[in-house]
Structure 1
Amino acid sequence: MASITVVGSINADLFVLVDRHPLPGETLLGRDGGISAGGKGANQAVAAANLGAVVRMIGAVGTDAYTEPALEHLRSSGADLSSLGVVEGSTGLAVITVSDDGENTIIVIGGANSAVDGSFVADRREAVERADIVLLQGEIPVSGFSQAVHLATGRVVVNLAPVVDVPAADLLRADPLVANEHEAGLILTQLGAPTVPRSEEEMALALRELGFTSVVLTRGARGAVVAESDAVTPIPTPAVEAVDSTGAGDAFVGGLVHRLAEGDPLVSAATYAARVGAFAATRRGAQASYPTSADVLP
């Protein structure tokens, strides 16, 4: 079975449930809250590992009280944590507010994730070089991102979220680039596109024209679009009653790389990934909401 190495962030998520999001300067009473595991790198690693993929996680945690909550689902998913780093100080932290309609706001504090730089990744070069797929996001230092791209001998998949200023040549290694419509606009601007198209289909084609081998643009409850060669294929998503959209995009990416590792073509993998993301949106939290290989997807 093909292997996946995720180079990315590991966070503890502090979440609060509210009827609606507060206005600037407003204080609201929350209904519930707690601590759960998060971080885009860890989320995507757990999503893939839960579904049966062979996953190794390269990332860092701190020495504070949030370390164990941040690692809970990475451990239970069966992901290989032998390349994990522990640095003195705080674990990455995300503060999340979830409203009744399932929408969320997120503030991220990097903490130990800032240690995942070029030298950190180079020290774990074998885990990158031997991977069939290397999966990256935007929550680690740019030097760590670039080092992983340079060491990768297999397929590179990039979900540049958040959109950070990585070298264009490194970003263009992505096959596919995965982004939502907002991120796609920022990436087009970052790469010097003269205009940003209005539709996701046009955005995907514009990104292809800039040199990406393939592009997957996610669009929430409206599914996704896949651009490869000169074709743009819409990807539907199951209609579900969303409870919490936190981490649903990461579930999509985890499902995508799982099926790519199984040998699926990109459109087929994205179709499966949309079902994984929809499943995650029907449950609270990020990693706690992700399906396993035993679950029935919508």
Structure 2
Amino acid sequence: MKNRGLFVGLITGDLIYLATRPPLPNEKVEAMDYCFTVGGPAANAAITFSHHGSQADLASFLGTEKLSLLLGDELRQHGINMINMNIEKSLEPPISSVIVTESTGDRSVISLNAKSLSGGDHTSVMQNLHTYDVILVDGHLMDTGAVIARKSNELSIPVVVDAGSWKPNFHVVLKYTDFAICSENFLPPNCKHQTDVVVYLQNLGVSAIAITQGQRPIRWWQGDRHGEIPVPQVKVVDTLGAGDIFHGAFCHYILEQDFVAALASAAEVASYACQFFGTRKWLEGDRFRSQ
């Protein structure tokens, strides 16, 4: 029987260019390649979870306009069940423009993110919440994420939080979090160092914490245990979505493995994905695909 995961957060349309470098002011740079695809932390994580053979439901804002229909088609192609929380049907998902630097795989992104998205109808999500094995909240739809995280906590469903950067009221979600997967850029108020971040999260009751550091080792804490996990060293082509892919893989593996093993398995998936341009080409092979 498939595991079921609910992914709560942002959907974007990502227009991605591969170039020698980002343009300077008043300069045009010719791209060597491009693609347009569904993006957003929750969406990319859901696709990764589905690729591993699990059932992913995505709760977000999508709409019914032309762009929304295009992105919705791609989500369905990857086996995602879309739970559209739109009240305003004409609303379109935000667009991200991304430039990936060929020599390093680093990305530059400009996006509206979720600034125009709030409220929404999550009635159907709450009614079926008990059917999920794991919940991921990406922090972009904070009010909805907090309601779902709190109820999931009551139902003893593990809650994973994608803590990429601090956002207002994030502490409300974190109070109901089992696994906080943080980037090294995640700094809550009055936190200046990673030690501060860990203490902050532990004081909120988060039982398992990880901090990813790109190609440097992942640092983790669980109870009175802590350590580091080496990240596979690969030729990086594109880092866009690597964190999202990590979180989606972690949600799959944490239902089969312990915390440290799940982090290591997720790191292997994310590192593999970084060897391909865009956020979808890594899915084309059989590696990590459920049989």
- Shorter-chain TM range is 0.7 to 0.9
Which residue matches 2:117?
A: 114
Which residue matches 2:106?
A: 103
Q: Identify if the C-alpha distance between structure 1 residues 35 and 169 changes in structure 2 by more than 3 Å, giving closer, same or farther.
A: closer
Which residue matches 1:295?
A: 287
Distance in 1 separating the partners of 2:201 and 2:173: 15
Mapping of residues 135-214 of structure 1, within 5 Å: 135-140=136-141, 142-152=142-152, 153=155, 154-166=157-169, 168-183=171-186, 186-187=187-188, 189=189, 192-193=190-191, 196-197=192-193, 200=194, 202=195, 205-211=198-204, 212-214=206-208
Which residue matches 2:96?
A: 94
Residue identity in the other structure for 1:294: D
Q: Identify if the C-alpha distance between structure 1 residues 111 and 46 changes in structure 2 by more than 3 Å, giving closer, same or farther.
A: same
Distance in 2 separating the partners of 1:169 and 1:56: 23
Q: Identify if the C-alpha distance between structure 1 residues 207 and 274 changes in structure 2 by more than 3 Å, giving closer, same or farther.
A: farther
Asked if structure 1 preserves the Cα contact closer than 8 Å seen for 2:50 and 2:80, the reply is yes
Distance in 2 separating the partners of 1:12 and 1:290: 19
Distance in 1 separating the partners of 2:116 and 2:50: 21
Which residue matches 2:251?
A: 257
Q: Identify if the C-alpha distance between structure 1 residues 267 and 203 changes in structure 2 by more than 3 Å, giving closer, same or farther.
A: farther
* Percentage of identical aligned residues: 22
Q: Identify if the C-alpha distance between structure 1 residues 219 and 73 changes in structure 2 by more than 3 Å, giving closer, same or farther.
A: farther
Paired residue secondary structure (1:20):
coil
Distance in 1 separating the partners of 2:276 and 2:170: 37
1:227 counterpart (203, 221, 230)? 221
TM-score normalized by structure 1? 0.85
Extract unaligned runs of 5+ from structure 2.
none
Extract unaligned runs of 5+ from structure 1.
none
Offset of residue 24 of structure 1: 4.2
Which residue matches 1:124?
A: 125
Distance in 2 separating the partners of 1:105 and 1:270: 26
- Root-mean-square deviation over aligned CA pairs: 2.5
TM-score normalized by structure 2? 0.87
Asked if structure 1 preserves the Cα contact closer than 8 Å seen for 2:63 and 2:84, the reply is no
Aligned pairs, number: 281
Q: Identify if the C-alpha distance between structure 1 residues 80 and 215 changes in structure 2 by more than 3 Å, giving closer, same or farther.
A: same
Q: Identify if the C-alpha distance between structure 1 residues 163 and 121 changes in structure 2 by more than 3 Å, giving closer, same or farther.
A: farther
Offset of residue 103 of structure 1: 0.4
